Chains A and B, each alone.
Chain A
Amino acid sequence: MRTIIRAEHLVKNYGEFAAVKDISFEIREGECFGFLGPNGAGKTTTVRMIHCVSPITSGTILVNGLPADVDNRKIKAATGVIPQEMTLDTDLTVFENMMVFSKFFDIPRREARKRTDELIAFVELEAKRDNKISELSTGMKRRLLVARALLNKPALIIADEPTTGLDPQARHLIWQRLRLLKNQGTTLILTTQYMEEAQQLCDRLVVMYEGKILKEGSPRQLIDDEIGREVVEIRIEAAEDARLIADLGPLARGHERAGDTLFFYCRDGRAIQKKLVEMDLPNTVYRPATLEDVFLKLTGRSLVE
């Protein structure tokens, strides 16, 4: 697959504060690439530099061979952005929002009208076509942001935490639409702090933390490499750790204590499960490993402020 975005030694400083610290990555055409990380990890800053609304301190980003800098209208014309913030035009109706926005992309009026109707249907907002933005729910607004980002038929879509604050129905609808777009060949860049979202959508992702990339890979591969297949959680006092680790440690790939819980990571949990039954411990959970485990292992299980 062709590389559509190449970032090399990307650095972003806000005054003294280093938001992005020398990261490099490549995004291929047609894939969904995720930036996963807690608040303040530098995800949004990174994608803002990709779509040319934030000056790069040092390093380079090439988008389709063009350097991403703030005066590059070509990249912006070919990119659709689903922003994290509700940046809809609150003075206008749903329909007007779409029509006015299409002007900024020089879409002729008739074509704009056609695309607006199609896209409003695509995100199931037909009933709200002539309503003002203030009359929409959060989920509807988010759907309209998705529709608006598609007006210019972008080859690249950047979705910056597209489902933050949404109820499950709205979230699933957004996921379905994003998957549909990916299946149509659109390259998708997603930032998220939801592991489930990353697991649902991303072909490949990077885990970001404090401005750096900690790991890169497919969700499956990351889980496999970092955790294994299964996780055993035992809620027990730390005083018991030594005994438990002596007993269970050899059966697991690794272990970690976080707060009131002791975690064992394993490839094949059957042996450990059998042992657990023998030990007859209360408060144990045995479950498949998820991206969340990878994330917490990499970024630490303690609270990130």
Chain B
Amino acid sequence: MNLSRRAFLVFYRNLVSYKRFVLPTLVGSLVQPVFYLVTFGIGMGAYMGAFGGRGYLFFLVPGVLVSSVMMSSTFECLYGAFVKMIHEKLYDSLIATPVSAEDAVAGDILWGAFRGLISGGLMMIVAFFMGVFPVSFPAGLLLCVLMVLIGIMFGSLAMIVTSYAPNFDFFNYYTELVITPMLFFSGVFFPLDNFPAWMKTLAQFLPLTHAVEVSRAVYSGVYGKGLLLNLGFVLALTLLAARFGLGRMKKRLIK
């Protein structure tokens, strides 16, 4: 592993280029989650009664928030990284400088996490105006840190997929067979309590489940005893995925 502070230079490069895309990407990352909030939260929520003593929106917001972090970081590290690798040959020019392959990829994972943070942050603001917000201001800040961590986790997982991808179509396997199902089996829209036991077990292996739990705890201020386990899962998977993703991408970039 040849990782250095230069990863942040690659992040900076993305920031410079981002200013041209700010508006379309903001709209892009905001529309879908807001759509979920309005249709599920307000529309369906009206029939749902109270969830643990509070409205459905209080249940829904923390989940949709981390889902949007997942979506943004995943797409950035799938499509964004693939375009840079294959179409723009950007990585080739990066690794010809003192930037190492690991720096370049790590910079893009960080970038994916940052895009996730923006999506999640926007959600937080939208939810705020709908009357749903974290239990305290420090809790809100803590959530921002957690969003970065969750973004790094999903970005790294996506990088692993990218390192194997022969073309764009390959990403459909991941988005349709992993990401989309995960959205529905991780307790984002409804609690897992009424699922059959095997499904609940399966859910424990989905990274989004743990991310949702963490987010929900910060929003509600109820820190259950399972929370450490959730955090531990997220941390462990982040380290593992980052390490493997960087290694795989290095193999692909340096031939």
**Is B a genuine binding partner of A?**
yes
A contact residues vs B (CB 8 Å cutoff): 14, 51, 53-55, 70-71, 73, 76-77, 79, 81, 83, 85-92, 96, 100-101, 103-106, 152
Q: B99 touches which one: A70, A92, A104 (CB < 8 A)?
A: A104
Q: How far is the CA of A77 from the CA of B96 in the complex (A)?
A: 9
Whether B13 and A89, one on each chain, are in contact in the complex, defined by CB atoms closer than 8 angstroms, is: yes
Whether B254 and A54, one on each chain, are in contact in the complex, defined by CB atoms closer than 8 angstroms, is: yes
Asked whether B194 is an interface residue with its Cβ less than 8 Å from the other chain, the reply is no
Residue of B at shortest CB range from A151?
B97
Residue of B at shortest CB range from A96?
B16
Q: How far is the CA of A247 from the CA of B142 in the complex (A)?
A: 93
Interface 9-mer from B55-63, B85-93, B116-124, B128-136:
B85-93
Interface string of B83-112 (1 = CB under 8 A from A): 000001110111111111100000000000
Q: A89 touches which one: B17, B95, B96 (CB < 8 A)?
A: B17
Whether A92 touches B98, Cβ cut-off 8 Å, given contacts A83-B93, A85-B92, A87-B92, is: no
Whether A89 and B97, one on each chain, are in contact in the complex, defined by CB atoms closer than 8 angstroms, is: no
Add 14 more A-B contacts to A91-B21, A96-B17 (CB < 8 A).
Answer: A73-B100, A76-B96, A76-B97, A77-B98, A79-B96, A83-B89, A83-B92, A87-B90, A89-B13, A89-B93, A91-B20, A103-B9, A103-B12, A105-B98
Task: Give 21 pairs: A residue, B residue, CB < 8 Å, sorted on A.
Answer: A14-B255, A51-B96, A53-B254, A55-B255, A71-B100, A73-B4, A73-B100, A76-B96, A83-B96, A85-B92, A87-B88, A87-B90, A87-B92, A89-B17, A89-B90, A91-B21, A100-B16, A104-B6, A104-B97, A105-B97, A105-B98
Asked whether B2 is an interface residue with its Cβ less than 8 Å from the other chain, the reply is yes
Q: How far is the CA of A104 from the CA of B93 in the complex (A)?
A: 10
Whether B98 and A73, one on each chain, are in contact in the complex, defined by CB atoms closer than 8 angstroms, is: yes
Whether A85 and B96, one on each chain, are in contact in the complex, defined by CB atoms closer than 8 angstroms, is: no
Note all chain A residues with C-beta closer than 8 A to B16.
92, 96, 100
Whether A54 and B9, one on each chain, are in contact in the complex, defined by CB atoms closer than 8 angstroms, is: no
B104, chain A: closest CB distance, angstroms: 10
Whether A103 and B13, one on each chain, are in contact in the complex, defined by CB atoms closer than 8 angstroms, is: yes
Interface size class on chain B is: 20 to 34
B84, chain A: closest CB distance, angstroms: 9
Q: How far is the CA of A294 from the CA of B143 in the complex (A)?
A: 69
Note all chain A residues with C-beta closer than 8 A to B99.
104
Whether B92 and A92, one on each chain, are in contact in the complex, defined by CB atoms closer than 8 angstroms, is: no
Interface string of B1-28 (1 = CB under 8 A from A): 0101010010011001100110000000
Interface string of B219-255 (1 = CB under 8 A from A): 0000000000000000000000000000000000011
Note all chain B residues with C-beta closer than 8 A to A70.
100-101, 254
Note all chain A residues with C-beta closer than 8 A to B2.
71
Note all chain A residues with C-beta closer than 8 A to B17.
89, 91-92, 96
Q: How far is the CA of A54 from the CA of B92 in the complex (A)?
A: 11
Interface string of B49-78 (1 = CB under 8 A from A): 000000000000000000000000000000
Residue of B at shortest CB range from A80?
B96
Q: A85 touches which one: B20, B89, B97 (CB < 8 A)?
A: B89
Whether A87 touches B9, Cβ cut-off 8 Å, given contacts A54-B255, A77-B98, is: no
Residue of B at shortest CB range from A79?
B96
Note all chain A residues with C-beta closer than 8 A to B20.
91
A101, chain B: closest CB distance, angstroms: 7
Q: How far is the CA of A90 from the CA of B13 in the complex (A)?
A: 12
Whether B88 and A90, one on each chain, are in contact in the complex, defined by CB atoms closer than 8 angstroms, is: yes
Residue of B at shortest CB range from A88?
B93
Interface string of B190-230 (1 = CB under 8 A from A): 00000000000000000000000000000000000000000
Q: A53 touches which one: B6, B9, B96 (CB < 8 A)?
A: B96
Note all chain B residues with C-beta closer than 8 A to A51.
96
Note all chain A residues with C-beta closer than 8 A to B94.
104
The 9 closest A-B pairs by CB, nearest first: A91-B17, A87-B93, A104-B97, A73-B98, A87-B89, A81-B96, A71-B2, A77-B98, A100-B13
